Amino acid sequence: MNTITRRGLLIGGLGAAGTVGLGAYAATQGSSPSTPKGPFGAPTPVSPDRGQAVVTKTLTAKPITLDLAGRTVSTWGYGDAVPGPLLRANAGDFLRVTLDNQLPDETTIHWHGIRLRNQADGVPGMTQDPVKPDASYVYEFTAPDPGTYFFHPHVGVQLDRGLYAPLIIDDPKEPGDYDTEWVLVLDDWIDGTGTTPEQVLDELVANDSGSGGMGGMDHGEMDGMSRGTTDEAGPWGDAGDVTYPYFLINGRPPADLETLTAKPGQKVRLRFINAASDTIFAVALGGHRMTITHSDGFPVQPTETDAFYIGMGERYDAIVTLGDGVFPLVAKPVGKTSGGQAMALIRTGSGSAPGEGANPRELSGKVLIGSDLRPTQAAKLPSRTADATTRLTLTGSMQPYAWGMNGAPFGENEPLTVQAGQRLRINATNMTMMTHPLHVHGHTFALPSGLRKDTVLMAPMQSFAIDLDADNTGDWMIHCHNIYHAEAGMMIALKYTT
């Protein structure tokens, strides 16, 4: 029963009336403030406006295999590859995406970062029923803002399988001052290597520090509070929980890396997406400085840097003018000592490829922290004082593996509330000794600098006052984008009260 209950909770309140399918280990019962609505039934069909372009796609979620430099692992993906197929549209387009669930488990799709209508947000128990095996669900929404996004399930720890793919929303009015563009999806990989993400979560929750080297805990030493900042982790204190055997760019490990070919002097737009579940990366391109132009889709004042950090769920766009030669593009996992790194290659000329351990000196230069970026004028929220203020505290520990928000796991914490039309200030504080990427659904928030983001890395004990305009009615998730933390309870609801 325990297994069934836990499983049911993990995969979306399967048959367990009055429980919610997230916050797996929170015993969500009866009158809890987060008790989900439902059943939801089919989404209300919506039609595109006159003249609105329609982008139609079917995504089949199914078991597949992935070739990791000669080692074949079983996983789940969208279509036949990891990452899944690129989905691309213009800002303002109407997307109609059918999820065909051929997995042996329930699933959903969440369109990470898109300010879309609530019924398309993909949160089981909150915006829809989970999609059962052999069933399908039609996601219909308008994508209002150009930018780099991605999509993934919002069920259990399925994100840590191969279920993710880039979503690019183009600005038809932006000429795009570059010659070519590459999308780089970063990931940490463990699925099919002798364990699954669900087993990893079970081990974390069971506090099984002796996980036999088959993945699991990243630290031999288990006292969450005593693990301080290391040089490896830079400003992030304790950065991750799980030991991954591989780190990937576009589904490929360094031993079988992707090579991007261009001409010297060409200007390239690099779109970075961190689809990892438990890994912050420091990213650098050997022999180059990068100019960061966008954060989570929104334009920033162009900022040149040697390298930058990217947390789980964050996206950054950079422009580089390519030199002549062969250059390693390295994403180094922050605070992790095994599993190597993620890597791709940019080739514009002759030369031999650097090895799997390539360590561009840019990584020891200036490593930019995304929240230090400044917004462009156009990307700012209109200036306005907050109508309402609320508190959001990130709480919890490694041992026991119990993460929460406002002192309790999801299902036991009170939802944050807002009235439509308000400017809401959320005073967020990370009261833990780990770094957490804080993610808000359905809205983009502004940091005190005005920087617009939907996911922000919060270092241990760091605070941010984040502002959002309540212009998208519904029930929304706010959570840590470490998928293991989220599943262990580090989530809270944001509800519109009128």
154 binding ligand C2O? (CB under 6 A) = yes
Min dist. Cβ of residue 454 to ligand C2O (A)? 9
Min dist. Cβ of residue 490 to Cu ion (A)? 5
- Single-letter code of the amino acid located at 450: G
| CB neighbourhood size of 275 (10 A) | 27
* Element containing residue 4 per DSSP (H, E): helix 2-10
441 binding ligand C2O? (CB under 6 A) = yes
Distance CA 204, CA 219 (A): 11
Min dist. Cβ of residue 244 to ligand C2O (A)? 18
**Nearest residue to 236 (alpha-carbon basis) of 314, 184, 289:** 314
**Given 117, 161, 425, 439, the residue binding ligand C2O (CB under 6 A):** 439
315 binding ligand C2O? (CB under 6 A) = no
Distance CA 62, CA 41 (A): 23
Contact by Cβ (8 Å): 123, 167: no
Distance CA 481, CA 492 (A): 12
Contact by Cβ (8 Å): 305, 366: yes
**Given 339, 485, 492, 493, the residue binding Cu ion (CB under 5 A):** 485
Give yes or no for a cis peptide into 172 (omega within 30° of 0): no
Distance CA 330, CA 282 (A): 8
398 binding Cu ion? (CB under 5 A) = no
436 binding Cu ion? (CB under 5 A) = yes
Give yes or no for a cis peptide into 264 (omega within 30° of 0): no
What Rg value do the Cα atoms of the chain yield, rounded? 21
Mark residues 59-98: x for contact with ligand C2O by CB under 6 A, - for none.
----------------------------------------
Contact by Cβ (8 Å): 244, 190: yes
Q: Which is nearer to ligand C2O, 158 or 395 (CB)?
A: 158
Min dist. Cβ of residue 455 to ligand C2O (A)? 8
110 binding ligand C2O? (CB under 6 A) = yes
Mark residues 446-485: x for contact with ligand C2O by CB under 6 A, - for none.
-------------------------------x-x-x----
479 binding Cu ion? (CB under 5 A) = no
**Nearest position to ligand C2O, beta carbon:** 112
Q: Which is nearer to ligand C2O, 327 or 476 (CB)?
A: 476
Which residues contribute to the site for ligand C2O (CB under 6 A)? 110, 112, 152, 154, 313, 439, 441, 477, 479, 481
Which residues contribute to the site for Cu ion (CB under 5 A)? 436, 480, 482, 485
